[in-house]
Homo-oligomer: A and B are copies of this chain.
């Protein structure tokens, strides 16, 4: 398995074409690319994971309605600048029109096109400009221009850069590629803004198989950086498989199955990490690992409690190895933590041993917390549960006040 950071992502898998155009979704005439299409002349099987928010945007509801075990797709159309969320019946009609119009331009039927949107909530889409954009973007993919970068730029909102990667697998049947792009959160966490991720592969596979592989990969990547309850109205992760390699992946082929699952997970994990490090003014990537809990969910509660504490994030920014704030956040997860049993480490350096601070390591703590990337491990020594969450620091003036007590 060879991993390629950044690059074209989506078009690394053969038979996919992308485009990105400016159609002025926000009416600002700023020239920002804001509508894109992913297109495969061959029909694709699909796996997809969506937000579980009570309030789901029209394109999410529309796309979900198209996904069936036997359904095949040729395209995804996506816009930034407007989420088409909380837009009522008109919003549903607009999402449907986006799909239909894309289908018409590409000579498809409407149910072969998935629809995504990201941007402001509660504003109706400017449909005449969207339609013009779909026409332009369709022309580009039909001409088979390699618009991978243009598509990546078209889906960004407050992101500071495009984020993509790909993996090439040399299987005994030949080569398979899996590529992906993500647009994330300009701010601290994915719950702060919509996350859209698209993956393409030239493997052949059924919808239920792709769904299973994608859900597992998402649980181990995007869900490591997202509080389940905190998803936006529009979060979507979509995996398209066009079978262009002629190689079929299924649970029956155990080695291939495992390799493919690993490739999809590798792409998802890389994209998820890129989301975390592209937070506005973020200076550090931190892996919070919790083990020794009575259950995995207890470990996850503690890891999220720590990762979401503004005080903890502020101290990371200030390179202050303030373990007290971390223990406080772990304590208010209320999992039954006993401080006198707690072990803690920064990377491999001990901070607490059964609740006793190892003060002689203090210089090393400081050195580690000053790094751009480090890990924090808590062992509650109470059971076999464990979980990992990826997060970042919090900078800004707000922090200047708070970074050390």
The interface of chain A, by Cβ under 8 A from chain B, is 52-56, 83, 85-86, 88, 119-123, 157-158, 186-188, 191-193, 229-233, 280-281, 305, 310-311, 322-325, 327-328, 330-340, 355-357, 394-399, 401-402, 405
B330 touches A55 (CB 8 A): yes
Contact of A336 among B54, B305, B330, B337 (CB under 8 A): B54
8 examples of A-B residue contacts, CB within 8 angstroms: A53-B334, A55-B337, A229-B305, A229-B334, A231-B332, A232-B332, A281-B401, A397-B398
Instruction: Check A328 against B232 for contact (C-beta < 8 Å).
Output: yes
Contact B54–A188 (Cβ < 8 Å): no
Q: What are the residues of chain B within 8 A of A229 when measuring CB–CB?
A: 305, 332-334
* B405 contacts A328, C-beta separation under 8 Å: no
B-chain residues with CB within 8 Å of residue A328 when the two chains form the complex: 53, 55, 85, 121, 232-233
Nearest residue (CB) in B for A123 is: B324
Docked CA distance A398–B314 (Å): 12
* A contact face: mostly helix, strand, loop, or mixed: loop
Give the number of times this chain occurs in the complex, counting copies: 2
Contact of A327 among B122, B230, B325 (CB under 8 A): B122
A342 smallest CB distance to B (angstroms): 9
B340→A88 contact, CB < 8 A: yes
Query: What 4 pairs across the A-B complex have the smallest Cβ distances?
Result: A121-B324, A55-B331, A396-B398, A122-B324
| Chain B residues, Cβ within 8 Å of A120 | 324, 405
Which residues of chain B are within 8 angstroms of A56 by Cβ–Cβ distance? 331
Task: Determine whether the beta carbon of A332 is less than 8 Å from that of B230.
Answer: yes
Q: In whole angstroms, how far apart are the Cα atoms of A90 and B355 in the complex? A: 12
Q: Is A122's CB under 8 angstroms from B357's CB?
A: yes
Name the B residues within 8 Å of A397 (CB-CB): 396-398
Contact in complex: B331, A53 (CB < 8 Å): yes
Cβ of A85: which chain B residues have Cβ within 8 Å of it?
A: 324, 328
